Amino acid sequence: MPRVSLPITTERLTLRSFRPGDEDDVFAYRSVASVVRYIPGEPKTREQVADLVAERATAGRIELTSPNLTLAVELDGRVIGDVLILLEGLDGKDERQAEIGWVFAPDVAGQGYATEAARAITEAAFREVGVHRVWAQLEPENTASARVCERLGMRREAVFVKASWFKERWTDLAVYALLADEWPAGGQS
């Protein structure tokens, strides 16, 4: 099974497995309605955050039974967000593809941390996991995430109109993607 070498360090951040003690930091952003507006689920309770932290302490392993890897994004000892790789095609029925995603504390918005962390997780997906394609799906009105995709060099491949039943309403769905042989250009932006 694929494994990502941890921790991943960038100029300012450390991407690592969740660990006991992260609960307060994660609760600080995962409990905020405006932060979870564009991700599945509702604002989390402290108990749900404790479960999330415990479940996601994976040491970089991606298993066939649970093909996602969620990593804490740490800045100066504080978890400010998390990033996700969700693999497809581990069973050999499809080319390896990975969906990526991110969620960050509102007080760090606009400082480039999401782009920096998304770039690092994309690099790991291509270089360590060996995926063929990395993609992200988002509501077109989520302009901050659309900008992250564009900074990674992803192209907007499609917008599906009212194609997603999400949080009790039909929403549009934009798909951004990048192929492995395009990554060096995307990694330089």
Judge whether 3 lies within some domain.
no
Domain that holds residue 67: 8-187
Judge whether 168 lies within some domain.
yes
Bridge partners, residue 87, by sequence? 98
- Among 3, 10, 128, residue whose Cα is nearest residue 60: 3
Judge whether 1 lies within some domain.
no
Cβ–Cβ under 8 Å, residues 156 and 176: yes
Cβ–Cβ under 8 Å, residues 83 and 118: yes
Judge whether 151 lies within some domain.
yes
pLDDT digits (tens, 9 = 90+) for 124-164: 999 998 899 999 999 999 999 999 999 999 999 999 999 99
More confident residue, 146 or 96: 146
Burial letters 33-63, b for 16+ CB under 10 A, else e: eebbebbeeebbeeebbbebbeebebebebe
Q: Output the domain CATH number for residue 174.
A: 3.40.630.30
Judge whether 41 lies within some domain.
yes
Q: What's the whole-number mean pLDDT along residues 23-52? A: 95
Q: Identify the pLDDT of residue 90.
A: 57
Judge whether 75 lies within some domain.
yes
| Number of folded domains that form the chain | 1
3 has pLDDT over 60: yes
